[in-house]
Amino acid sequence: MGIAAFLSVVRSDGRARLLAAGAGLLGVGAFAPFTVFWLAWLSWGALFLLVSRAPSPRAAAWRGFAFGLAQFLGGVSWVYVSLHDVGGMPLPVAALATLALCAYMALYPMAAAWSARRLDFSDKVSWRSACLFAASWVLAEWARGWVLTGFPWLALGYSQSPPSPLAGLAPLLGVYGVSLASALLGAWGALAVVGRQRLPGLLVLLLLGLGAGLGLVQWTAPVGEPLRVALLQGNIPQDLKWEPERFLDSLTTYVGLARDNPADLTVLPETAVPALYDQLPPEFIADLKALAARRGGDLLLGVPVADESSGERRYYNSAIGFGASPQQSYSKAHLVPFGEFVPPGFRWFLDLMHMPMSDFSSGGGRQPTLALAGQQIAPNICYEDVFGGEIIHALPRATLLVNLSNTAWFGHSLAQPQHLQIAQLRALETGRPMLRATNTGMTAVVAPDGRVQAVLPPFTRGALVAEVRGYQGLTPFARTGNTVALFLATLLLAAGALARRRETQ
C-alpha cells in the first residue's frame, strides 16, 4: 500500500480516529504480560501515519487522543479493579474515575500529535517527519511523568524490556531514550513499508543493530561475595488483611516463611503486617530479628511508622531493617495521590473506598542507603520504582535495589506483570539487581541486564530464595539521568522543524 492508497482509507476523520484507537489498543500487547515488543513498532508506526497525514493539527490532536484513550483504557484497567473490586467504591463512580484518569493521560498523546503535525506543515512525509513525531511523543511522555506528581505508567520504552534489541539502549538513555528509539523505529518502519522509502529502512536496521550491540556491554561489575536472599510473598487478600481477627495470621505467616527459608537477606513486602511498627508485639520483632541473625544476616520489613518528633503525629510508609546489623529505616518519598495522600478537596473520594492508612507523609528525597547483609541497599516502595530519575540518587553507593510492594490492591489484573516489567528497566538503567518482595506478586529477582532471574507465581504463598551479588560502577544513565534523552528529543524537534521550514521556502 502506498501513501496515496493509505490516504484514501483515512480520508474520513472519524474513521481515522477509530484506526488510531485500534492502534492504541494493539499497543497494549507490547507490554507485560503479553510482551510482544514489536507490536509497539506497528502501533506507533500506524499512529505516525495517521498524525502526519491529518488535514490539520486539530485533527491530528484528536487522533492522538483516541490513540491514548484506547491505550490507557486497555492498559491500566487495573485502576477500576483497585477502586471497585478491592476498594469497594460504587461501580458508577469507579468507572467514571477510571475513565477520567485515562482521558487525562490521553491529553499527553493528544499534545504530542498536535505538536508533531503543527511543526510538520509540509505535504511530503519523510524521515524528518518521523523525527518530529518521535521527539514530540517523548517530550509529552516525560511531562506525564512529573506533572501533578507524575504517572509514567505504560511509557513506550517499558515495552522494550528484554528480549527486545532496543533494551540495550536503556543503560545509556533510560526509559525515555528507549521510548524515543521505539517511536523512531515505528515511524521509520512505516515509511519504509508504506512509503517504500529506502533511507528509513536503513535507519531501522542501524537502530536495531546499535541496540543489540550495546546490549552486550557490561556497564557495572559484581562486588563482594554471593548473597542468599529470601523474598517473602504472604498472599494475604487485601479485603481480609485489615480485619482484626486476621492480624495473628499475618504475623505467623511471615514468621513461618522466614523460619523455613533462612537467608543472608530476608525481605518482607510493603505494609506486610496491618499495624504500626510501635504497635507490633515485641515477640514478633524479636522472632524476626533472631531468624535473620541466625546466619549473621538481616531482614527488611515493610511497615507503617508513626513519628511525633516534629511536634505533630505523622505517618510514614516505611521499610525497617534489622538483624545482625543495627536497626535502620527508609520512608517512602514519592507518594501516590489518593492512595497515600489526599489532595486538597478530595477527602470525599477516599471516603468512598475502604482504604486504611491513606494519608502518609513523605520521607524526603536522597535518604541514605541501608547497610544490611554486607551490602548497601537502596529500598524503594511500590510505585516509587516507576521514577528512574529518582532511583539513581542512591548511586553509586547502592549495590542492590530492593522494591517492597503490596499489589493486592490491583487484584488479578495487568498491574503485577506491568510492574515487574518496570523493574526490568530500572535494573538496566542502574546496572544493579532489583529484588522485589510483594504481597501477591510479582515477587522476583531481576538481573542487572534486565532479565528476570527468578519469579514466584502470583497469588501463591511462598518464598523466593535465590543467590545474587551486589554490583558497583555507574552506567551512563546513572551519571546523567534523563538529560541526554531529553536533549536528543529537543534536538530532533528543532532540527526537524528547521528542515521543514527550509523545504517550504
Q: Of the listed 131, 141, 241, 332, which one is catalytic?
A: 332
User: Which one of the listed residues 102, 131, 141, 270 is annotated catalytic?
Assistant: 270
Of 329, 328, 446, 439, the residue nearest 385 (C-alpha)? 446
- Average pLDDT of the chain? 91
- Cα–Cα dist 301/287, whole Å: 13
pTM: 0.93
* Rounded-to-integer distance, Cα 505 and Cα 496, Å: 15
Task: Note the pLDDT of residue 1.
Answer: 46
Could you identify the residue written with the cell 535507519?
A: 203
Query: Between 154 and 312, where is the model more confident?
Result: 154
Assigned CATH for 221-474 = 3.60.110.10
**Predicted local confidence at residue 117, as pLDDT:** 93
- Residue 131 among the catalytic residues: no
Give SS3 for 37. coil
Q: What is the pLDDT of residues 427-444, one digit of tens each?
A: 999 999 999 999 998 999
Q: What is the mean pLDDT of the segment spanning 211-228? A: 96
- Tell me whether residue 270 is one of the annotated catalytic residues: yes
Read off the C-alpha cell for 97: 474515575
pLDDT at position 408, please? 86
pLDDT tens column, 375-405: 999 999 998 999 999 999 999 999 999 999 9
Dist CA 36 CA 39 (whole Å) = 6
- C-alpha distances in Å from residue 401, one per residue of 80, 122, 297, 470, 502: 30, 48, 17, 9, 49
Phi first, then psi: give them for residue 335, nearest 5 degrees.
-85, 155
Residue 332 annotated as catalytic: yes
The domain ranges of the chain are 3-217+482-504, 221-474
Q: Which residue in 439, 14, 455 sits closest to 239, CA to CA?
A: 439
pLDDT (tens digit per residue) in 447-460: 999 999 999 999 99
Mean pLDDT of 36-61: 96
Closest to 43 (Cα-Cα) out of 122, 119, 137 = 137
Q: What is the pLDDT of residues 275-307, one digit of tens each?
A: 899 999 999 999 999 999 998 999 999 999 998
Distance CA 19, CA 9 (A): 10
| Residue 251: predicted pLDDT | 92
Q: Is the pLDDT of residue 504 over 90?
A: no
Strands 221-233 and 400-405: what pairing?
unpaired
Query: What pLDDT is attached to residue 501?
Result: 66
Single out the catalytic residue among 102, 241, 382, 384: 382
Distance, CA of 186 to CA of 38 (rounded, Å): 9
Q: What is the mean pLDDT of residues 244-252?
A: 84
Least confident of 4-18, 142-156, 167-181, 489-503: 4-18
Q: Please compute the mean of the pLDDT values over residues 71-77 and round it to a whole number.
A: 96
- Residues whose CB is less than 8 angstroms from the CB of residue 495 and which lie 6 or more positions away in sequence, other chains included: 128, 131
- Give the E-state strand segments of 387-486 in sequence order: 400-405, 434-438, 444-446, 452-455, 462-472
